[in-house]
Each structure stands twice: as C-alpha cells, then as structure tokens.
Amino acid sequence: MSIRVNPNVLPDLVSSIEQAQQAAQTATQELATGRSVNNLSDNPAAAASLVNNNALTSENDQYLTNLGDLQGKFQAADSALNTAVQLMTSAISLGTEGATGTISAADRQVIAQQVQGLQQQMLALSNTTYEGTYVFSGTDVTTQPFTQNNASPSGVQYSGNSGVTNVSIGDEQSMQTNLPGDQIFANANGNIFQALNDLVNALNSGTGIDAANEEVSQAFSQLTTQRVFYGNALNQVQNSQNYLNQEQVNLSALQNQLVGADMTKVIADQSQSQTAEQAALSATAQILSLPTLLTYIK
Amino acid sequence: MGTLSSALNIAVQAMMADETALDTTSNNIANANTPGYSRQTVNFVEAPPVEFGGQTYGTGVQISSIVSQRSAVLQLLLNQDTQQQGQYSSFLTTMQQVQTLFNETSGTGLQSSITGFFNALQQLSEDPSNTTYRQAVITAAENMAQNFNSSSASLTSLQQNADASVTQSVNQINALTPQIAALNAQISAAVSTGQNAGSLMDQRDQLLNKLSGLAGIAEIDAGNGNITVTTTSGAALVVGNKSFQLTTQADPTTGFEHIFSLDSDITSSITGGALGGALQVRDSTIPSILSSLDSLAANLENSLNTINQSGFDLNGNPGGNFFVPPPAGGSGAAAKMAVAISDPSQIAASQDGSAGDNANVDAMLALQNQPFVNGQTPINAYSSLVFQIGNDVATAQSEQQASQASIQQVQNQIGSISGVSINEEAANLIQYQQAYQAAAQAAAVISSLTQTAITMFSSSH
C-alpha cells in the first residue's frame, strides 16, 4: 500500500505563492530605496557599522566647516601681516632717507611724521579682528591687544596674553591656530613698535638714526619669520581639506558597500520572483481544477 | 445448521453495517473542509460464529467500532511548534516597532543628535568666544536630550502595549481552559461507555492548539480519555474536568501585570506562546535596551558635568553642571535627560579663564573618542545597541520562519493521517453501495426462497 499524503494541498500552494510575493516585495523595496538594508534586522552588523560610518561622515563635515572658518581667520591674519611687512618696508626706506647726511632737519621732521603715521597704521593692524574677536591677543580674544601708551618705552602697551589655541582638525589631529600678538609685534628679538618709536625719536633728534634703522631691520626680519606661521597654517588647512574630502569619498563608498543595493542583482531578483509567483499561481490553478474520482462516477 | 431465517438475518445485518459505513463516509465528505476534523473509518468484523453438529457457521458482519484517525504524537509536535510560533510572533509584533525607533538606515535614531552635539562642541572649540557657536552647543545638547527622552518614552509605551497583551492573553487562556475541562469530562464519559469520542477529541485538539498559541503548555495523558494541561513550568491549567484560572495583579513598583496561579507568582517561569513573547519583550528585551540608553545618557551627562565644572565660562566664572545630574545609578537617565544651562556664556569652554581658550571645550570634544561608556565610545556604545536590536529581531524572524515551516510540515503529516481525501471517500462510497446492493439482493433471494417454501407447504395441504 502506498503512503497516504495530505489530501489538503491548499496550505502548501498558498505558502509558495506567499513566498514568491515576499521575495518580490523585498526586491521592490530595495529598488525603491536603493538600499539592501532597510531594517536593522536585514543586516544588524551592517546597520551597526552604518552608525559609525554616518557619525564619522558627519564629524568630517564639521571638520571641513571648521577648516573653512580657520582658513578665513588665517587669511585675515596673513593679510594683516602682509600689510605690516609693506609698512616695515616703507619704514626702512624712510629711515634710509632720513639717514642721508644732506637732509635738512625740517625734512627729517617730515619723515619722522611719516614714520609716526606708519606706526599708527601698524597699531590698527595689530588690533585686527575676525568675526568679532581679536586675532592677535592670544586667548584673551575679547580684549583689544595693543593700545597707545606714551608711558611705555615702545609707545604701545600689550594687553593680550601669551596663550595659544589648538583646534582639532581631524581625529587625533590638532593644529595651533594663533600666535600671541606680543610674539609678532613686540618680540624680544625685534620689537616693531619699539623700533618704529625709536626711529621717530632718532629722526626728530637727528641722532642715532643708523642704530634705529638697524633696529627696524631686525624687527622687519622678525616679522617675516613670524608670518611664516600663518603661511604654513594655510597650507595645513589645504592639506587637511584634501585629506578629509578624500576620506568623505571613502566613507561614502563604504556606506554603499554596507547598505547599498546591488541594482543588477536586485533587478534579477525581482524578475525571478515574478516568474516564481506566476509559476506558483499557475500550478495552484491547475492543481485545484484537477478532477476527482467523483467526476468519473456516473 | 444454516437456516433461511438466519441467512435473512445475515443479509439484513450486512445492510445495516453498510448503512453505518455509508453514513460515516457521508460525514467524512461533509467535513472535508472542517478545520480540525479527523476522518473516521468503520471497522467491519465477523460476527461470532456458531457451532452446530461439529460445523462452524458464520453469522455475518458487525461494525466493531468507528475510529477517528489521529496521531496524538503529531498533535503534540504541532502544539509545541505553535507555542514557539506564538512566542516569536508576539515578540516580533513589538520588536519590529522597536527597531524602527532606531532605524539608522533611514536616518532615524540617536546617532545624528549625539554626533550633532559633538560637532557643535567641535565648532565651538574653533572659536570658543563665539556666542552663536555657544548657542549652537546648547541647542544641540537640548536636541540630543529630547531624542533620548522620546526614544525612552516610545520604548516605555511599547512596553506598556506588551503589558496590555499579557492581560489579553491571560483572559483568552482563562476562556479556553474551562472548555477543555468540559470536553475532558465528555470524552471520558464517552470512552467509558465505549462510544466514539472522535469529534469531541477534534474539538479538544483545536482548543489545545489555540492554547498553545497563547502559552507554553505541557499535555499529559491522564488516562480514560483525560488530558492534564499545565504550563511548561508545571502550574496546573486543566486537571480532569476541573480548570484553574490564572489571575493578574499589577506590580506596585513597575505597574506591570504579574501572573498568578493558585496565589503563586508564575510570571518569570512562563515561556512560549503569545504570553511568553509579550513577557520576554516587557520584562527582558525592552528593559535591557532602556538600561543601555540610560547608561549612555548618564555617562554623557556625568562626564560633561565634571568637565564643565573644571573650567571657566565666558565671563571667567567657574563652570557648573552642563546637564541636570542624572538619577543615582543611572536608571531613568535617558527619560529625564535635560540641559541644565540656558545662558550660552555658561559653557565652560576655557581652562584658564580667558575667553579665547578652548582647552576645556577640547576636553569635552575628546569624550567623543574616549571609551567612557562601559568601555566604549558613545557612538560605539550606541552602535552596539543598534546591532543588538537588529540581531534580536533577525534571530526571532528566522526562528519564526523555522517554526512556521515546521508547523506546515507537521500539518501535512497530520493531514496524511487525518485529512479527508475525496477520492478515497468516493471509492468507499462505491464499495459500500455495491455491498449494500448485494446484501439487499441476497435478502430478496432468501425472501423469494422462503416464499417458495411457504407455497410448497400450503400446496401439500
């Protein structure tokens, strides 16, 4: 005797139709979203990696925004120091002119006034602001760093501090973003305000002009040395931006690997599941319309 | 010695037996699509022979019994699979909603607000005296706190849904067990009088299967047609013709319903079925997720507070609490997470008191990559949670599919024993019809012979 089979085939048939429909639905969802992972349960490990990936991407976006900001600040500082270099160049040529033996005392007074003017412009530059804060006052960014003070030997008083700021520009990577103003404008190895003040006094009095010129030259070379900091900083910003942009491309590629749908495969899956569904439907219709023994009993 | 009257008797008995068989076949055909119906077959046996004068004479046919074709073992297997299926379905009903709360693939979840907060700190670090940036840090912190609050609230509300379904399942169980007890009584009465209890057993099997969908149960054959039903841990539900109601009582601290059997709390011992799944979600899975969120929230709050207190704000004053301190032990921290400061200048970004110093905000920012949340960075702690949730759902889904496939297979096996085959019944119909016709023909022939004998005797008068 043969083995008796379940006479009720309907649940099996319905289940095979449902399976095919399920597969078609999954493929359609993947096509619609472009992602192979639409729920955490689709691929828990990929979903968890996606969290870290998205966090890194967002973090890098912020680093890029910060670098843009820093770039603006560095450019403001660099441009101020560029003008300062030009002022010092003028001071050197005025000093040289004043040191000429044939010049009259009255003319020297005129030159002294011009140097005085340069000193005022230098003072304004040393108080450069960027987005409302002083660029050259160390970390005491809300205090005006340099003020006119005739009691001081240099004629100028520094009220900032010597603090420097380090800013993160990537994971485990940070850069110094400022030079304290006294290090630039009132450096012990070449004090700009002192040198300009001494030159004005020397021109007015007619004595010690050569020594004052020497002082101005020293301050000039100190200024160009310090200015290199901002040039380097701008380069570093550029390098970091390049690095982070590349990193974003990598992260985006990784994200696609983690949760992106393989479109070729999805389209193949979809058409396969449609074929399977049609086959299941057709088989069901055929099996359900099979005659029974009763059909033949007359 | 055979007689005409005994021959007539045999033919009539045969007709009656065939009528019973036709009746059974007709009943099978009528119930071909009735859920839970087990086909019935008739057992023909020879009637006891008689001995006379050294000869043994057959006395015809009898129906010894009508038997319902069933397998208790397969039914038990079906119920076990149904218990699993019920548990995973009920678990998934809630957990599929839980996973949408953290669906990072569509951008829902805590990642963006946690990262957003650290990004705001990063921006402030670049320009620590900038009031706009300071305001952005506070806004981002509030946003993060709100996200923790709402995630926690949604989880609690899903937990309450699971609690509501616990009560529903208990009510359904309590409605089923008296019916099973009543059927036990009917079946044992039928069995003791030798009646066919097939359709009563079909009903009881159906009810036991429904009960299996609700809770993990153990079925013990208590003899005489009775089935004793207990929970898998042994709490009595049905014994003989008695049923035992489960009761629920709200826990005074959590507000969640506990389940009692005969005054003892059996909540933690219940597994399987919709009830087991709801209890698993309510008492284990969601509490574990909530505790991870609480731990993440409390660690963030405490660490930020400590660092803010060690620095100086924009006005050069020592910093205070950044967040409202979390509850001791951290329980409920996510639900209650809140930012303590509203004035942007109160963020202690500076370590030396100067407005442009960013050393303290840098220390806050550095937390992003420090393993201070149970040995993990905040984002890693969160992504572990996301993995855990996804994995719980994925595991339950594949278990559910497996139990579904197993149910289908067992149902096919049950169908192969108990299912009504129209072809088979049609064949039986013809067979019994022909037997009936033959017996009737035999009766007619004997009747005609009797007539012959009567005529013979009356003509000899």
Q: What is the pLDDT of residue B267?
A: 95
Shared domain for B209 and B225, answered yes or no, is yes
Shared domain for B290 and B424, answered yes or no, is no
Judge whether A223 and A191 are in contact, CB under 8 Å: no
* Three-state DSSP class for residue A180: coil
**Interface confidence (ipTM) of the complex:** 0.86
Q: What is the pLDDT of residue B195?
A: 87
Minimal-distance CA residue of chain B relative to A290: B423
Q: What is the pLDDT of residue A290?
A: 86
Shared domain for B240 and B296, answered yes or no, is yes
Closest C-alpha among A7, A27, A18 to residue A280: A18
- Closest partner residue to B115 (CB to CB) among A39, A49, A59 is A59
Shared domain for B20 and B110, answered yes or no, is no
Kindly determine whether residue A50 and residue B424, on different chains, have CB atoms separated by under 8 Å: no
Percent of the residues in chain B that have a pLDDT greater than 90, as a whole number: 89
pLDDT digits (tens, 9 = 90+) for A187-223: 989 999 999 999 999 999 988 999 999 999 999 999 9
Distance from A259 to chain B by nearest Cα, in Å?
8
Shared domain for B202 and B308, answered yes or no, is yes
Residue B219 has pLDDT above 90, yes or no: yes
Q: What would the two tokens of residue B175 be?
A: 């409605």
Q: What is the pLDDT of residue A289?
A: 87
Closest C-alpha among B65, B60, B16, B19 to residue B42: B65
How many Å apart are CA B238 and CA B180, to the nearest integer?
7
Shared domain for B164 and B278, answered yes or no, is yes
Average pLDDT over residues B132-146: 96
pLDDT digits (tens, 9 = 90+) for B66-87: 999 999 999 999 999 999 999 9
Judge whether A170 and A244 are in contact, CB under 8 Å: yes
pLDDT digits (tens, 9 = 90+) for B421-455: 999 999 999 999 999 999 999 999 999 999 998 88
Identify the structural domains of chain A with CATH numbers, from first to last: 59-253 (1.20.1330.10)
Judge whether B204 and B70 are in contact, CB under 8 Å: no
pLDDT digits (tens, 9 = 90+) for B288-335: 999 999 999 999 999 999 999 999 999 999 999 999 999 998 999 999
Kindly determine whether residue B358 and residue A167, on different chains, have CB atoms separated by under 8 Å: yes
Is residue B414 situated within a structural domain? no
Q: Which stretches of chain A score pLDDT less than 70?
A: 1-2
Shared domain for B128 and B101, answered yes or no, is yes
Shared domain for B54 and B198, answered yes or no, is no
Instruction: Name the pTM for this structure.
Output: 0.88
Beta-strand runs (E) in B47-146: 50-52, 55-57, 61-68
Kindly determine whether residue B111 and residue A141, on different chains, have CB atoms separated by under 8 Å: no
For β-strands B257-261 and B264-265, DSSP reports them as antiparallel
Kindly determine whether residue B114 and residue A55, on different chains, have CB atoms separated by under 8 Å: yes
Is residue B147 situated within a structural domain? yes
Shared domain for B247 and B356, answered yes or no, is yes
Is residue B184 situated within a structural domain? yes
* Three-state DSSP class for residue B258: strand
Shared domain for B255 and B210, answered yes or no, is yes
Judge whether B125 and A167 are in contact, CB under 8 Å: yes
Reading phi first (left if > 0) and then psi (alpha if -120 to 50, else beta), residue A283 is in alpha
Please report residues of B whose CB lies closer than 8 A to that of A163: 352, 354, 356-357
Distance from A36 to chain B by nearest Cα, in Å?
10
Distance from B7 to chain A by nearest Cα, in Å?
32
Shared domain for B301 and B434, answered yes or no, is no
Q: How many CA atoms lie within 13 A of B78 on its CB side?
A: 22
pLDDT digits (tens, 9 = 90+) for A224-263: 999 999 999 999 999 999 999 999 999 999 999 999 988 8
Judge whether B101 and B230 are in contact, CB under 8 Å: no
Domain count, chain B: 2
Distance from A266 to chain B by nearest Cα, in Å?
18
Average pLDDT over residues B51-71: 90
Minimal-distance CA residue of chain B relative to A177: B126
Mean pLDDT, chain B, rounded, equals: 94
Closest C-alpha among B138, B125, B196, B22 to residue B367: B125
Domain that holds residue B225: 76-409
Please report residues of B whose CB lies closer than 8 A to that of A291: none
How many Å apart are CA B263 and CA A234, to the nearest integer?
77
- The phi and psi torsions of A10 (rounded to 5 degrees) equal -55, -50
Average pLDDT over residues B385-398: 96
Shared domain for B392 and B442, answered yes or no, is no
Is residue B296 situated within a structural domain? yes
How many residues in chain B? 461
Q: What is the pLDDT of residue B1?
A: 53
Kindly determine whether residue A142 and residue B104, on different chains, have CB atoms separated by under 8 Å: no
Kindly determine whether residue A38 and residue B105, on different chains, have CB atoms separated by under 8 Å: yes
Q: Looking at B373, B391, B409, which one is the last position of a domain? A: B409
